[in-house]
């Protein structure tokens, strides 16, 4: 359907149907979305929660939400009598609404007040957020379980599913050894196949094309192949000389372009190697020569006309062997593809099953589940239900959509609604800025949606750049009307918008044209163009030099932006890659100019991630010399080649480093990853070493970022080897979620080096584009399958071997790639507000062994924009345009807009270092210290209150701070396996806690596993051999005694089922202004003996982890395991000793806080909760003294403390934590 493009009148356009708005760069897209949103509120009477607004990132969502809220507030203020600001938005909106539907100002104010009051419910979200919300509200309708947890990355689950398939189908006992060897030759692995599965699942609507005949029966070729190999080897061994001589003598009868003596010699050597290998399927023989030159069939095919080819028995045997080998390899390739197809189906299903079983969902699953629920036909009413909830939708950045997302929106809004009309749906985007194909954004989907839209609008008034820069871009992109290559995308002239721009004054170039677009032409030297690498170096040098000049003139007051001197932060250098950014950063540093890099690159593909992985591998296995030396060779450790060689030759040095890394491993096991990382950084001087580098801030930021991500992941992967596997998976997958994007290393006022992908949506005063001239076209690595779009714009993933060689497909894929590169250039050239520097022209490039040629540059995409007018892109790639013609085209562009475009040769002089004015000592004054520093919001815990430490960690022994009593000698008659002989201290306590946490109290057969696991996670000192066996016996005895003992309230833990207890129950209790004076007063008033508390006042949360909460007889109890060693005698665990320990260590406060947390938890979870009925109390077990036979004279068990705070007492503590200072005693 052909639609005219009309300029959008946001206050007068219709609000029905499916509308496409093409918004060129800087044309006020958000301004117009706000206008449409408020019109839907006021004219259609929709509520804020009924208007769906979707964009594609969380940051964009937050910005759009704030902009819309602000517009509502501004309009409401105007309706209440406040004069509007200079922006015409509000007056035009009010005038239009009155004209369009006759709403009175009072009615409009009422609607906007309602919208502002419930704006927190506004449906402004990302596409994933919308689909998640839709599915969460209708899980049964979507066929999904309740309570799915969102995971950002499902790489581990995907790897599990693929690894299961690999073990079953590839590594199993029934697998074909030839196929297994073929897979190894192809470097297949579960990791590689998991990446392929990810690729397929990311594009579920793409058509997968597999070769025909994949399911053909497998032929038993190996016996015949072995026989042919043996026959050929036998003849070769008997008469190699005769076979070679016969072929050499027959060369005159064979075609010279296929046969000559050097080729014959190489082929004979290839036969030597092949037949000596004993492997008929030897893979690399073709690299050594062409064995088929000796085959009878090839000799017959390559003979000269009317000539007879040479004859020899080996030639016939070679023909049989070569043919059988080829058939075998083709069959193996077919079987491999069959396995891949099977893996894609089976592992995909298993992955979905794993996610359902674990009740998790990933981002891609959210979209797929929403599409499936809407489009599979099983729930035809669901689209209507969602459309009724969201009657109108505005989709921002629609050029970045993909087929799945587009299908969801079209299912909701492209069909007739209750009134018989489509929409209202507004699709807002700019196809010229579609640059995210690597994220599976699909421009062809946009173009297909464009064809389905009922009305097309454009935004053509640029609100960003100055008039001169707008005219310069209009001139540049008008030079080639087909410059964007793909049909359906064209550059439309834009005009100067009404928005005011900051003033820009440049008085540094007297008498020189102040053109906003500076074209730098690549120069010649001695009449010859520069080599590509030399041109890159000069481009970097010229860019850095001009930045230094601009900043120097700014310091001198001759260049001003917004009435102030030009600053480094006003300047951006746009690059394609981190490598290019590194060149610019280094060049700027040489001139004394600081810079900062902004990129969407994943932190996991950085050099620092690779180095950290090497270091962690050495920490995990310090005894492996290769890993140890590799870690020392990293830039993090900083050892030189000479130092590494010296260590490798010195046993004492090796022993030293092995011990150091071994101690780090023990720290990791005992204290966790975060503590170990900090210890390593401190001991190895990592921060100091990195900061001494020119890029030190960048490198240290990366390392700390990786440490944070690993520390967070360690909660799910506490075992060191599991965490190392997690890191390896993230690096293999190049995980690139928002959390994994490289962070800003500094917020100082620095020159910004930005990748073009990251720069989209941003603007800068002055922009440099130093690398757009480069004609080298990057090729996408697509193993196993090629991706392209068919003639209808639908995605295809083609696994046919011939697809990678198809000339038409190659051309189509090359054009798609080139079209995206052109769009990247458009994004780069439209970021500037005041001035843009662009380097263009021709250069030389040596391809292979040939002479350097300008061919690559004359076919570059930037030159295509300038000189490709009137040509199809395919013809441009074949043309042999003279460099003079290219230069004339650039000169013509400059001449067409002389006052806007200035064309000069690239400056070749080195830039002058920037002089940074030093502050005089007299100007430096220390700020007066504040009278009071508010401690601010923070997290505290029992440990922090009682001991001034930071918050607790899960599964840590809370007795670790207890001071051990003076060491006493164990009685001689105390059995060796008695738990009283078990080690003491924090490590021992952690081990005891871990055992109780992992043990199933009612299943004694599993206790040994729990004990072994606890000792493995928390190994005790000198525990090996007989000592380790004895420790296991001690813990077994402890477990048997504690679980068999009868405790207060008739509790026997050995009868407690696993589903009646919660281990390590975490809690966060709000604490409003809790201070030690009030808490000490409360404890004293309620007669709880405690050491005096001296913690810093807490405004925030009390956080902690309760060892165990269990249910017994309908009541819920707090249970804390205490591993304190109170002595070796039975009486050391009597009530008086236990009471003393409770008071000394402040445990009364601990169980009171735990009781408040459980009280609040039960109050929210139990229907008709009653403290007196449901809360049982707090039970503290000093486990070394808890035994079935150890009871006092009254029959009470030793080693126990039990208390149930009165309800009124607990209520006053609850109130005190909640900020009610008068709550003291009950």
Active site residue 1120: yes
Backbone torsions φ then ψ of 1162, nearest 5 degrees? -65, -35
| Co-location of 1172 and 1204 in the same domain | yes
CA–CA dist 121, 47 (Å, integer): 10
Terminal Cα-to-Cα distance of the chain (whole angstroms): 79
CA–CA dist 584, 578 (Å, integer): 10
Q: What is the pLDDT of residues 1000-1031, one digit of tens each?
A: 999 999 999 999 989 988 888 777 788 899 99
Query: CA Rg, the chain, in Å?
Result: 37
| Co-location of 778 and 894 in the same domain | yes
Please say if the pLDDT value at position 288 is more than 80: no
Please say if the pLDDT value at position 8 is more than 80: yes
Which range has the worst mean pLDDT, 46-50, 142-146, 222-226, 1187-1191? 142-146
| Co-location of 1094 and 1111 in the same domain | yes
> What is the rounded (10 degree) CA torsion for 1078, 1080, 1081, 1082?
90
Model confidence band, residue 520 (pLDDT cutoffs 50, 70, 90)? very high
| Co-location of 980 and 1090 in the same domain | yes
CA–CA dist 430, 489 (Å, integer): 9
Q: 740, 768, 803: which is the final residue of a domain?
A: 740
| Co-location of 704 and 784 in the same domain | no
Please say if the pLDDT value at position 892 is more than 60: yes
CA–CA dist 92, 71 (Å, integer): 13
Q: Is residue 704 part of a domain?
A: yes
What is the average pLDDT value for the chain, to the nearest integer? 89
Q: For a pLDDT cut of 70, what percent of the chain falls above it?
A: 93
Report pLDDT for 929: 82
| Co-location of 18 and 35 in the same domain | yes
Residue 941 sits at the vertex; the CA angle it makes with 940 and 945, to the nearest 5 degrees, is 90
Report pLDDT for 1218: 80
**Length of the chain (residues):** 1226
Enter the tokens of residue 660: 């150091």
Q: 740, 775, 796: which is the final residue of a domain?
A: 740
Which range has the worst mean pLDDT, 629-633, 726-730, 999-1003? 726-730
CA–CA dist 736, 742 (Å, integer): 9
Q: Does a cis peptide bond (omega within 30 degrees of 0) precede residue 1105?
A: no
Q: What is the pLDDT of residues 1077-1131, one digit of tens each?
A: 889 999 999 999 988 888 878 877 788 889 999 999 999 999 999 999 999 999 9
Q: What is the pLDDT of residues 163-215, one digit of tens each?
A: 999 988 888 756 788 888 889 888 899 999 999 999 999 999 999 999 998 99
CA–CA dist 672, 680 (Å, integer): 12
Q: Is residue 968 part of a domain?
A: no
Provide the pairing of β-strand 124-126 with 207-209.
Answer: unpaired
Enter the tokens of residue 902: 């200035």
Please say whether the beta carbons of 627 and 617 come within 8 A: yes
Report pLDDT for 745: 66
Mean pLDDT, residues 677-681 taken together: 93
Report pLDDT for 968: 67
Report pLDDT for 146: 59
Please say whether the beta carbons of 1211 and 1226 come within 8 A: yes
Please say if the pLDDT value at position 141 is more than 90: no
| Co-location of 358 and 409 in the same domain | no
HSE-up of 37 (CA within 13 Å, CB side)?
Answer: 36
Model confidence band, residue 143 (pLDDT cutoffs 50, 70, 90)? low
Enter the tokens of residue 255: 């075609």
Please say whether the beta carbons of 438 and 602 come within 8 A: no
Give the list of residues 6+ apart from residue 985 with CB closer than 8 angstroms, or none.
Answer: 960, 964
Indicate which CATH number applies to the domain containing 1054: 3.90.320.10
Model confidence band, residue 962 (pLDDT cutoffs 50, 70, 90)? very low
Q: Is residue 491 part of a domain?
A: no
Report pLDDT for 958: 47
Q: 718, 740, 762: which is the final residue of a domain?
A: 740
The strand pairing partners of 455, in sequence order, are 19
Q: Is residue 988 part of a domain?
A: yes
CA–CA dist 188, 385 (Å, integer): 46
Q: Is residue 229 part of a domain?
A: no
| Co-location of 670 and 524 in the same domain | no
Q: Which of 225, 212, 230, 180 is nearest to 327 (CA)?
A: 225
Q: What's the whole-model pTM score?
A: 0.72
Give the list of residues 6+ apart from residue 307 with CB closer than 8 angstroms, or none.
Answer: 253, 254
The strand pairing partners of 456, in sequence order, are 5, 20
Model confidence band, residue 951 (pLDDT cutoffs 50, 70, 90)? very low
Q: What is the pLDDT of residues 296-347, one digit of tens each?
A: 999 999 999 889 999 999 999 999 999 999 999 999 999 999 999 999 999 9
| Co-location of 1108 and 1198 in the same domain | yes
The domain tally of the chain equals: 6
Please say if the pLDDT value at position 244 is more than 50: yes
Mean pLDDT, residues 648-663 taken together: 89
Q: Is residue 1021 part of a domain?
A: yes
Mean pLDDT, residues 671-678 taken together: 88
Structural domain span for residue 289: 240-324
List the alpha helices (DSSP H) in 415-522: 443-452, 467-478
Greater model confidence, 937 or 86:
86
Give the list of residues 6+ apart from residue 443 with CB closer than 8 angstroms, or none.
Answer: 399, 431, 434, 437, 486, 489, 819, 820
Strands (E), 763-849: 764-769, 786-789, 795-798, 832-840
Q: What is the pLDDT of residues 832-873, one digit of tens each?
A: 999 999 999 999 998 877 889 999 999 999 999 999 998 999
Report pLDDT for 40: 96
Indicate which CATH number applies to the domain containing 504: 3.40.50.300
| Co-location of 341 and 399 in the same domain | no
* Catalytic member of 1120, 1170, 1192, 1214: 1120
| Co-location of 202 and 283 in the same domain | no
Q: Is residue 465 part of a domain?
A: no
Mean pLDDT, residues 704-730 taken together: 87
Q: What is the pLDDT of residues 407-423, one digit of tens each?
A: 999 999 988 766 667 88
List the alpha helices (DSSP H) in 376-496: 382-389, 403-413, 443-452, 467-478
Model confidence band, residue 942 (pLDDT cutoffs 50, 70, 90)? confident
The pairs formed by 657-665 with CB atoms below 8 angstroms and a separation of 24 or more are: 657/622, 657/628, 657/632, 658/622, 658/623, 658/628, 659/622, 660/622, 661/618, 661/619, 661/622, 661/628, 661/631, 662/622, 662/623, 664/619, 664/622, 665/619, 665/620, 665/622, 665/720
Q: Is residue 464 part of a domain?
A: no
Angle formed by the axes of helices 363-375 and 382-389, nearest 10° = 110
Backbone torsions φ then ψ of 1098, nearest 5 degrees? -110, 125
| Co-location of 302 and 211 in the same domain | no
Model confidence band, residue 1225 (pLDDT cutoffs 50, 70, 90)? low
The secondary structure element, H or E, covering residue 901 is strand 901-905
């Amino acid at each position: 359907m052909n639609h005219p493009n009309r300029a959008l009148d946001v206050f007068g356009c219709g609000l029905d149907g499916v509308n496409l708005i093409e918004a060129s760069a800087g044309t006020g897209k958000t301004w117009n979305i706000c206008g449409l949103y408020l019109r839907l509120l006021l004219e259609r009477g929709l509520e804020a929660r009924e208007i769906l607004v979707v964009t594609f990132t969380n940051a964009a969502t937050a910005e759009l939400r704030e902009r819309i809220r602000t517009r509502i507030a501004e309009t409401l203020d105007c309706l209440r009598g406040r004069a509007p600001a200079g922006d015409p938005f509000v007056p035009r909106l009010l005038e239009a609404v009155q004209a369009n539907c006759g709403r009175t100002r009072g009615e409009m104010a009422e609607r906007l007040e309602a919208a502002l009051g419930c704006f927190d419910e506004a449906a402004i979200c990302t596409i994933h957020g919308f689909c998640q919300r839709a599915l969460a509200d209708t899980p049964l309708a979507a066929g999904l379980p309740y309570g799915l947890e969102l995971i950002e990355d499902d790489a581990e689950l995907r790897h599990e599913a693929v690894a299961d398939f690999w073990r079953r189908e590839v590594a199993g006992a029934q697998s074909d050894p030839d196929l297994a060897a073929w897979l190894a030759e192809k470097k297949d692995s579960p990791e590689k196949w998991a990446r392929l599965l990810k690729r397929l699942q990311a594009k579920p609507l793409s058509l997968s094309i597999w070769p025909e005949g994949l399911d053909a029966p497998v032929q038993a070729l190996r016996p015949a192949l072995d026989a042919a190999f043996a026959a050929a080897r036998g003849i070769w061994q008997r008469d190699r000389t005769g076979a070679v001589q016969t072929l050499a003598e027959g060369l005159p009868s064979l075609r010279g372009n296929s046969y000559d003596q050097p080729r014959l010699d190489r082929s004979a050597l290839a036969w030597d190697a092949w037949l000596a290998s004993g492997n008929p399927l030897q893979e690399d023989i073709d690299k050594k020569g062409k064995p088929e030159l000796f085959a009878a069939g090839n000799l017959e095919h390559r003979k000269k006309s009317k000539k007879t080819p040479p004859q020899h028995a080996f030639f016939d045997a070679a023909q049989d062997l070569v043919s059988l080998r080829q058939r075998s390899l083709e069959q193996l390739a077919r079987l491999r593809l069959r396995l891949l197809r099977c893996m894609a189906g089976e592992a995909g299903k298993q992955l979905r099953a794993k996610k359902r079983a674990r009740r998790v969902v990933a981002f891609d699953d959210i979209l797929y589940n929403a599409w499936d629920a809407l489009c599979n036909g099983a729930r035809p009413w669901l689209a209507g239900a969602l459309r009724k909830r969201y009657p109108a939708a505005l989709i921002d950045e629609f050029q970045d959509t993909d087929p799945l997302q587009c299908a969801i929106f079209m299912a909701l809004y492209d069909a007739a609604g209750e009134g018989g009309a489509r929409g209202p749906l507004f699709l807002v985007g700019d196809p010229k800025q579609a640059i995210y194909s690597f994220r599976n954004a699909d421009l062809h989907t946009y173009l297909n949606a464009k064809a389905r839209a009922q009305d097309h609008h454009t935004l053509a008034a640029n609100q960003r750049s100055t008039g001169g820069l707008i005219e310069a871009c209009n001139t540049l992109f008008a030079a080639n009307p087909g410059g964007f290559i793909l049909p359906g995308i064209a550059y439309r002239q834009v005009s100067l918008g009404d928005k005011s721009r900051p003033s820009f004054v440049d008085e540094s170039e007297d008498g020189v044209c102040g053109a906003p677009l500076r074209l730098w032409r690549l120069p010649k030297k001695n009449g010859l163009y520069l080599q590509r690498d030399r041109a890159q170096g000069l481009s970097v040098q010229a860019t850095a030099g001009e930045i230094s000049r601009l900043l120097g003139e700014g310091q001198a007051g001759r260049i001003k932006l917004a009435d102030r001197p030009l600053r480094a932060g006003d300047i951006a250098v746009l690059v394609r890659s981190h490598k290019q950014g590194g060149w610019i950063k280094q060049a700027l540093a040489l001139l004394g100019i600081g810079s900062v890099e902004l990129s969407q690159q994943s932190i996991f593909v950085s050099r620092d991630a690779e180095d950290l992985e090497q270091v962690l591998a050495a920490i995990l296995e310090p005894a492996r010399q290769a890993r140890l030396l590799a870690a020392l060779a990293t830039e993090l450790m900083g050892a030189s080649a000479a130092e590494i060689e010296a260590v490798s030759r010195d046993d004492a040095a090796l022993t030293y480093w092995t011990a150091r890394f071994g101690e780090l491993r023990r720290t990791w096991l005992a204290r966790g990853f975060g503590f170990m990382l900090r210890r390593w950084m401190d001991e190895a001087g990592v921060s100091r070493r990195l900061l001494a580098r020119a890029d030190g801030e960048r490198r240290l930021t990366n390392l700390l970022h990786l440490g944070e991500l690993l520390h967070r992941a360690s909660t799910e992967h506490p075992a060191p080897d599991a965490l190392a596997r997690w890191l390896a998976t993230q690096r293999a997958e190049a995980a690139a979620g928002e959390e994994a994007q490289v962070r800003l290393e500094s917020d100082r006022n620095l020159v910004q080096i930005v990748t073009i992908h990251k720069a989209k949506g941003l603007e800068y005063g002055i922009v440099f584009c130093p690398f757009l001239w480069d004609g080298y076209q990057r090729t996408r690595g697509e193993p196993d399958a090629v991706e392209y779009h068919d003639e209808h714009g639908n995605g295809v993933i083609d696994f046919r071997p011939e697809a990678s060689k198809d000339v038409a497909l190659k051309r189509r894929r090359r054009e798609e790639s080139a079209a995206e590169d052109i769009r990247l250039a458009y994004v780069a050239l439209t970021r500037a507000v005041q001035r843009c520097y662009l380097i263009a022209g021709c250069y030389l490039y040596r391809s292979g062994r040939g002479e350097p040629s300008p061919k690559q540059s004359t076919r570059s995409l930037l030159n295509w924009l300038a000189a490709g007018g009137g040509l199809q892109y395919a013809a441009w790639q074949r043309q042999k345009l003279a460099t003079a013609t290219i230069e004339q085209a650039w000169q013509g562009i400059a001449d067409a807009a002389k006052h806007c475009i200035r064309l000069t040769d690239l400056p070749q002089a080195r830039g002058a270092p920037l002089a940074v004015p030093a502050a005089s000592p007299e100007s430096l004054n220390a700020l007066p210290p504040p009278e009071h520093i508010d401690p601010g919001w923070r997290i505290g815990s029992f440990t922090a209150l009682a001991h001034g430490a930071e918050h607790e960690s899960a599964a840590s022994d809370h007795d670790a701070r207890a001071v051990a009593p003076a060491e006493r000698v164990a009685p001689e008659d105390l059995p060796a396996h008695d738990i009283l002989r078990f080690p003491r201290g924090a490590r021992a306590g952690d081990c005891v806690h871990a055992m109780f946490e992992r043990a199933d109290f009612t299943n004694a057969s599993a206790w040994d596993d729990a004990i072994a696991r606890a000792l493995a996670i928390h190994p005790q000192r000198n525990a090996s051999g007989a000592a380790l066996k004895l420790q296991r016996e001690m813990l077994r005895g402890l477990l048997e005694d504690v679980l068999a003992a009868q405790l207060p309230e008739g509790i026997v833990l050995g009868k407690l089922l696993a589903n009646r207890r919660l281990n390590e129950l975490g809690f966060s209790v709000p604490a409003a202004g809790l201070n030690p004076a009030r808490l000490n007063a409360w404890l004293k008033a309620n007669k709880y003996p405690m050491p005096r508390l001296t913690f810093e006042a807490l405004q925030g949360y009390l956080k902690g982890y309760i060892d165990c909460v269990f249910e017994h007889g309908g009541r819920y109890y707090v249970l804390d395991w205490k591993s304190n060693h109170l002595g070796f005698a039975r009486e050391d665990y009597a009530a008086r000793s236990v009471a003393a320990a409770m008071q000394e260590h402040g445990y009364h406060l601990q169980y009171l806080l735990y009781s408040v947390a459980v009280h609040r938890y039960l109050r929210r979870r139990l229907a008709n909760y009653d403290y007196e009925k449901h809360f049982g109390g707090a039970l503290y077990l000093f486990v070394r003294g808890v035994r079935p036979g150890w009871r006092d004279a009254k029959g009470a068990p030793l080693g126990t403390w039990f208390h149930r705070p009165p309800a009124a007492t607990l209520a006053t503590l609850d109130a005190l934590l909640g900020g009610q200072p008068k709550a003291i005693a009950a």
